[in-house]
Structure 1
Amino acid sequence: MFNEFWGLGFAVANFAMLIIMYKVFGKTGLFAWVAMSTILANIQVTKTIEIIGLTATLGNSLYASTFLATDILNEKYGKKEAKKAVWLGFTSLLVMVIAMQFGLKFIADDSDFAHGSLETIFGLVPQIAIASMIAYLASQHIDVLIFAALRKIFPKDNQFWIRNNGSTLISQLLDTLIFTSIAFYGVFPFDVWLQIFISTYVLKFIVSVMDTPFGYIAKWITPLDEKKV
């Protein structure tokens, strides 16, 4: 049960750090969070773990937190700012992939101890990153559009949970299908791929429900840089 409890704590820590970033830096903090989490999630996803009895990839809670960040931006600053964050996350991932591929081509010195490990991790990243970038752009734009549409139907503050969960659960189903199909189908046996697909979406579902209280906290927060002096 260690992975389950540790994963729960990690998800809560992610959301708490996101809220702190927003409180201290305002919407700039949310933009930074999207960029950082997109990069870190694509590094963590190279590690597989067993959780709730299924094989899963790491990085789900970090990646899911980017959807909360864009939902907060959409809620408080509008669709345009949410879309800007989506493109920022995409660009950050692209720069990371290009920079690390250049870095891996350098010939390591005899005293080097890191190249092999970097090659193991970032050698896998291009295929994963391509899958992630396609899935990310598709799902995040769908998330922004669905959130905006749901806001017209459910505009009240106490209906934020409908906007947040409705947009995220639909968009992350699309994200999971695209990502696992491109990144892992053919890499793992079909039964393992199916487990990863199911467990990834189940974990994203759980994390999406967990992030709702933090979304309400963000709605109540006035960032330090927006307070009147």
Structure 2
Amino acid sequence: MNKSFRHLDTITALFVTVLLISNVASTKIVAFGPLTFDGGTILFPLSYIFGDILTEVYGYGRSRKVIWIGFCAALLMSLTFMIVGALPPAPDWPNQEAYEKILGLTPRIVIASLVAYFAGEFSNSFTLAKLKLITNGRQLWLRTIGSTLIGQVIDTALFILIAFTGVVPNSLLWTLIVSNYLFKCGVEILFTPVTYAVTGWLKQQEREDYYDRHTNFNPFRLTGAGR
């Protein structure tokens, strides 16, 4: 019988919410001091923090299911924006051009976002689960930061390279990758005390601290809890 959890649904909802808001905010490129990055970078690191919490407390199998929920939600959102943008506007609605500039996502951006999310989130979850076994559940900071360093470099590089190669100058391309990566990893490090507090509280509340000793790490296995 699958174990029932009090807070897994809430963590899942927050994870997906952060993901969707970040994707919309990514349509704007912002300058933050010496860094240049897309607007979604401000919130997107929280999805990795939620991902860390999910894997640390509930295990890779349940985290895998949540990652797929996020993937499907992001795909549905992107397709909806594209279909609405392609439909003819009402004769007295003057904002079609503005809509297309902000929400009229191109197939290239959608593909870049989904590929980067899929590869980055699963790399993050897999790395954290393996590090938990190696450290025997000690040094949570090493697992959360280490998995983020790997997951974020994959996510950031894939998204920027797929979305913007040939669109922006190469100098800006690498600036975006470095700035995004530094900011995202910096947020993860800054929020480490919060991650400690939330995971500790959840482990107590849920009476769960899962170790993926016999887990099937195939990201495409969706049946059951994935153990």
| Percent identity over paired residues | 30
Structure 1 residues 66-81: aligned runs within 5 Å: 66-81=47-62
Q: TM-score, normalised by structure 2?
A: 0.82
Unmatched 5+ residue regions in structure 1? Answer: 1-24
In the alignment, does 2:146 pair up with 1:179? no
Amino acid at match of 2:186: I
C-alpha separation in 2, matches of 1:114 and 1:26: 41
C-alpha separation in 1, matches of 2:22 and 2:158: 16
C-alpha separation in 2, matches of 1:180 and 1:33: 25
Structure 1 residues 24-103: aligned runs within 5 Å: 26-103=7-84
Number of residues paired by the alignment?
201
Structure 1 residues 138-217: aligned runs within 5 Å: 138-157=119-138, 159-217=139-197
Amino acid at match of 1:212: T
What is the Cα deviation at residue 26 of structure 1? 1.3
Aligned to 1:16: none
Out of 74-83 and 125-134, give the one that drifted further.
125-134
Q: Is the 8 A contact 1:176 1:197 kept in 2?
A: yes
The 4+ residue runs of structure 1 with deviation greater than 4 A are none
Aligned to 2:214: none
What is the Cα deviation at residue 156 of structure 1? 3.5
Q: Given the superposition, is the C-alpha separation of residues 226 and 111 from structure 1 closer, same or farther in structure 2, using an over 3 Å criterion?
A: farther
Unmatched 5+ residue regions in structure 2? Answer: 1-5, 208-227
Q: Is the 8 A contact 2:15 2:70 kept in 1?
A: yes
C-alpha separation in 2, matches of 1:112 and 1:126: 25
Q: Is the 8 A contact 2:22 2:43 kept in 1?
A: yes
Partner residue of 2:118 out of 132, 137, 153: 137
Q: TM-score, normalised by structure 1?
A: 0.81
Alignment deviations for residues 57-110 of structure 1 (CA, whole Å, 9 cap, x no partner): 111132211111111111111111111111111111100111112211222123
C-alpha separation in 1, matches of 2:19 and 2:80: 15
C-alpha separation in 2, matches of 1:66 and 1:144: 12
C-alpha separation in 1, matches of 2:8 and 2:96: 37
> SS where residue 221 of structure 1 aligns?
helix
Q: Is the 8 A contact 1:35 1:92 kept in 2?
A: yes
Structure 1 residues 91-130: aligned runs within 5 Å: 91-130=72-111
How much is the aligned-residue C-alpha RMSD, in angstroms?
1.9
Alignment deviations for residues 179-221 of structure 1 (CA, whole Å, 9 cap, x no partner): 1100111111111111111111111121111221121121232
In the alignment, does 2:212 pair up with 1:220? no
Amino acid at match of 2:198: A
What is the Cα deviation at residue 226 of structure 1? 5.7
